[in-house]
Structure 1
Amino acid sequence: MSLLLAVALLAAVLTAATLRPFGLPEAVVAVPAALLAVAAGLVTPDVALDEIAELAPTVGFLAAILLLGHLADVEGVFRWLGARLGSASGGMPGRLLVLVFGAAAGTTAVLSLDATVVLLTPVVLATAARLRLPSRPHSYACAHLSNSGSGLLPVSNLTNLLAFPATGLSFLGFAGLMVGPWAAVLVVEYLVLRRYFARDLRGGPGEQPEAPERGSAVTGPAADSAAAQRAPAFALAVLAATLAGFGMSSALGVGPGWIAAAGAAVLAVRALLRRETGPVRLVTAISPGFCLFVLALGVVVAAVAGQELAGWLGTLLPDTPDLTGLLLTAVVAAVLANLVNNLPATLVMLAALGPSPHTGLVLAMLLGVNIGPNLTYAGSLATLLWRRIAAGAGDPPRLGTFVGLGAVTVPLGLLASTLALWASLALLT
């Protein structure tokens, strides 16, 4: 009965986060569920507080990076990037896809997958509309790379931050082992999307060989041409310095959250002095409700893991990071991510791997929870958010297209990235 109650609470939290009835914040259901889990004895108060304390630095970083992304947008970084994408593409859909891949991969790696979904995707859709090009390939590239392209750095995804301490690696050590798998999955994604959307990518400037999946043209401020804009040099310099700070954070003994907060503080002071934003908007940008949701979700997942679920799952997982063990771990993580969402899947997998897991197995788990969500909408909150943003921009995705594309990219991406991880471990450890 305890397991059934814990699973029911987790299901209620995830369902509310997915559907967001009446537009209510995710925390509205998650916080009462966490309190009920403690009240029902599914998790002790001490364990719940320990879970919150363990997640606090990760949630702090999440707030800082969300604010940094918002302020970069205020500075015009993404409008400038959209203009550069449009002009560099020459109106050719295939060339634009290459450029979008580079922009999405870089944005996801440095500013996390949320920035790619919330800030880059609308700009990409507007750019495609302004050039009169099909939007499908470029929209799906943003969606896919927000997940599968989030494996390069510890700061690229909340899942990475949750698992980073268990790897025992430095910031640069993590990047060194994951650059091969990251590059491998990007190649797979590009080749598959190029083939899957071949008809949309034919033709010259301004030609639309096939009607895109949209209800109306993309409109709004982001659709305005920004070709004459100067590069937002100050914001780009701050972002470059922040990235450099991430790389030095381990050597300096400073958490990446403090680095992100420093970068955000510099841009915030400038934006406030120039009256480009206000205190209320800055608080809204850190998404306090979502941060509270992550903390409450951690308590609910701890309640589920405490009912022997993590122990049972641990019996399925390998102990050694040989190729078979890495593949099995990645596949189990991918399946679990699509069943319960990748954030709780990460927490459960970490508990199942035990207190001292091998670094390779933790990294293989991250491949699963980051690449796997491209198979279903429910696999990642970022994917759910992308679906709403694309629909709101007049380009609603189709479930059949999303699942069909994911059915090809997920298994191929997992195989290619796991092989690359296996090779990286053999060479660098």
Structure 2
Amino acid sequence: MELTLALLALATVLAFALVRPRRLPEAVAAIPAAGLLIATGVVSVDDALTEVTRLLPVVGFLAAVLVLAKLCDDEGLFHSAGVAMARRSKGRPVRLLTTVFVIAAITTAVLSLDATVVLLTPVVLATARTLGLPSRPHAYATAHLANSASLLMPVSNLTNLLAFSAAGLTFAHFTALMTLPWLLVIAAEFVILRMYFRRELAAAPDGDVAPPPAETPVFVLVVLGLTLAGFAVTSLLDASPAWAALAGAVVLGVRALVRGHSTVRDIAASANVPFLAFVLCLGVVVAGVMHHGLDTAMRDVLPVGTSLPALLGIAAVAALLSNVVNNLPAVLVLLPLVAGAGPAAVLAVLIGVNVGPNLTYPGSLSNLLWRNVVQRERIPAPFLEFSRVGLATVPVTLVLGVVGLWASVEVFGV
């Protein structure tokens, strides 16, 4: 009975998050669901507090990164990126795709996948329109890179933050292990998407619009560079990297307020408190499912060990589970089960939950955000087409990512 109630609560929360009726925040369903499980004793108060306490540092880190990304947008970073894409592409579709890949991969790695979906994707689409180039190849590039290019650093994705906490690695060690998988996955995505959209990328531009020059936002780039260095330093000092993210956000926030580019209300809103509450409550709901049988069932399915076949199996299970229940619940379910096997198994889960969601819309919340963005821009992206593109990329990128991880572990150790 307890497991049934917990599964119903999880299904309700996920369904609400995927559909978001009337654009209500995900927390509208997650908070009552978590409260119901606590009130009925499916999750004890102590277990709920333990889960919330475990997730609080991760959620704090996420809030700081969200604010940092919004302030970078206010300072013109993404406008400057759009101008750079237009100038470097010179009206050639393949050159634009290459530039989009570079900028989207860096944006995702440094400012998280939300920045790529919400802030960069509209800029990419506007750039393609201005140059008279097909939008679909470049739109799908941002969708895929928001997921797969988030492998590099702990700050790139909420799933990374959770894995970073479970793996027990330093910021630098985590990034070193994931650099080769990141490069292999991005390279494979580029080759496959270029082949998949070869007809549209062969089209001649409809217009000849020269983009205006734009100033390079040097101050923002310097702050971001120092923030990244701060992530590594805080990790070495055994302090939370959230402090470095907070410092960067404070510097840009004060500058934005002084120059009138933002307000205190806008900065506070960019932290997306309802989504942070959703993450905490989702953790409580997943804990209810885990404590009443799912952990045993998943443990029977997961391969044991950290050999290459075992890592491939772990990543495949993680990818499949992500497309069934979304990657955030999937990582919450799987991390406790593989943490005892060591960092390599944890990072294999991460590859599965980051690359796997490119297969279906429900795979990640960023997919749904991206769908909303492209629909506003009147670009068709039906479910079947999204999945066809995913079928072309996910199997290859999943295998290459895990092979890269296995090679990195052999070189750097864990």
Fold match, TM over 0.5? yes
Find the aligned partners of 1:203 and 1:146 in 2 and give their Cα distance: 26
Match of 1:149 in 2: 149
**Matched residue of 1:390: which SS?**
helix
Find the aligned partners of 2:170 and 2:58 in 1 and give their Cα distance: 16
Find the aligned partners of 1:88 and 1:190 in 2 and give their Cα distance: 17
1:265 aligns with 2:240: no
1:315 aligns with 2:300: yes
Residues 36-51 of structure 1 correspond to what in structure 2 (within 5 A)? 36-51=36-51
Match of 1:219 in 2: none
Deviations 1:55-100 (A, max 9, x none): 0011011111110000000000000010010001001000000000
Residues 29-428 of structure 1 correspond to what in structure 2 (within 5 A)? 29-206=29-206, 227-353=212-338, 356-428=340-412
Find the aligned partners of 2:232 and 2:354 in 1 and give their Cα distance: 21
Q: Is the 8 Å Cα contact of residues 305 and 351 (structure 1) preserved in structure 2? A: no
Q: Is the 8 Å Cα contact of residues 90 and 205 (structure 1) preserved in structure 2? A: no
Displacement after TM superposition at 1:310 (Å): 1.1
Paired letter, 1:107: T
Q: Tell me the C-alpha RMSD between the 2 structures.
A: 1.4
Q: Is the 8 Å Cα contact of residues 133 and 203 (structure 2) preserved in structure 1? A: no
Query: With structure 2 as the length reference, what TM-score do the two structures score?
Result: 0.97
Match of 1:220 in 2: none
Displacement after TM superposition at 1:167 (Å): 1.1
Deviations 1:96-120 (A, max 9, x none): 0000000010000000000000110
Paired letter, 1:407: L
Deviations 1:305-352 (A, max 9, x none): 111211221122233100110011000000000010000000000122
Displacement after TM superposition at 1:206 (Å): 3.4
Runs of 4 or more off by more than 4 Å in structure 1?
none
User: What's the % identity of the aligned pairs?
Assistant: 51
Q: Is the 8 Å Cα contact of residues 67 and 249 (structure 2) preserved in structure 1? A: yes
Paired letter, 1:159: T
Structure 2: unaligned runs, 5 residues or longer: none
Find the aligned partners of 1:233 and 1:301 in 2 and give their Cα distance: 43
Query: With structure 1 as the length reference, what TM-score do the two structures score?
Result: 0.94
Paired letter, 1:403: S
Paired letter, 1:286: A
Q: Which moved more, 1:118-127 or 1:400-409?
A: 400-409
Paired letter, 1:397: A
Deviations 1:137-166 (A, max 9, x none): 110000000001110101111001011122
Displacement after TM superposition at 1:225 (Å): 8.1
Deviations 1:263-285 (A, max 9, x none): 01001001111111111111111
Number of aligned residue pairs = 413
Q: Is the 8 Å Cα contact of residues 137 and 193 (structure 1) preserved in structure 2? A: yes
Q: Is the 8 Å Cα contact of residues 91 and 206 (structure 1) preserved in structure 2? A: no
Find the aligned partners of 2:243 and 2:329 in 1 and give their Cα distance: 25
Q: Is the 8 Å Cα contact of residues 337 and 345 (structure 1) preserved in structure 2? A: yes
Q: Is the 8 Å Cα contact of residues 305 and 341 (structure 2) preserved in structure 1? A: no
Displacement after TM superposition at 1:207 (Å): 6.9
Find the aligned partners of 2:291 and 2:212 in 1 and give their Cα distance: 55
Find the aligned partners of 1:382 and 1:31 in 2 and give their Cα distance: 21
Q: Is the 8 Å Cα contact of residues 372 and 410 (structure 1) preserved in structure 2? A: yes
**Matched residue of 1:200: which SS?**
helix
Find the aligned partners of 2:41 and 2:207 in 1 and give their Cα distance: 62
Displacement after TM superposition at 1:357 (Å): 2.9
Q: Is the 8 Å Cα contact of residues 172 and 247 (structure 1) preserved in structure 2? A: yes
Q: Is the 8 Å Cα contact of residues 83 and 225 (structure 1) preserved in structure 2? A: no
Q: Is the 8 Å Cα contact of residues 79 and 226 (structure 1) preserved in structure 2? A: no
